[in-house]
Amino acid sequence: MIPILNEMARRFETAVIVVTHEEKIIPTFRRIYPIRDGVTYEEQGKGPGFE
């Protein structure tokens, strides 16, 4: 499912928001916004960027 969401984001040049607790899929995204103690942080993921 994640490769399909990434492909749709590339094809339509849009963001896809995924909310999950499944830690093994989190690094597949380009930007990650974890919430810790009610505060949101931005982290760089390892997912593909737009080219």
Render pLDDT for 22-48 as a digit per residue (tens, 0 to 9). 888 888 888 889 889 999 999 888 776
Would residue 51 count as lying in a domain? no
Would residue 39 count as lying in a domain? yes
Q: Report CA dihedral (24, 22, 44, 18) to the nearest 10 degrees.
A: 130
| 3-class DSSP assignment, residue 51 | coil
Q: Assess whether pLDDT exceeds 70 at residue 50.
A: no
Contact (CB, 8 A) for 33 and 43 = yes
Would residue 50 count as lying in a domain? no
Would residue 26 count as lying in a domain? yes
Residue 30 structural domain: 2-44
Q: Predicted confidence band at 3 (pLDDT cuts at 50, 70, 90)?
A: confident
What is d(CA 51, CA 49) in angstroms, rounded to the nearest whole number? 6
How many structural domains are present in the chain?
Answer: 1
pLDDT of 12 reads 95
Would residue 18 count as lying in a domain? yes
- Name the residue type at position 46: K
Would residue 35 count as lying in a domain? yes
pTM of this prediction? 0.62
| 3-class DSSP assignment, residue 9 | helix
Angle (CA) 24-28-39 rounded to 5° is 75
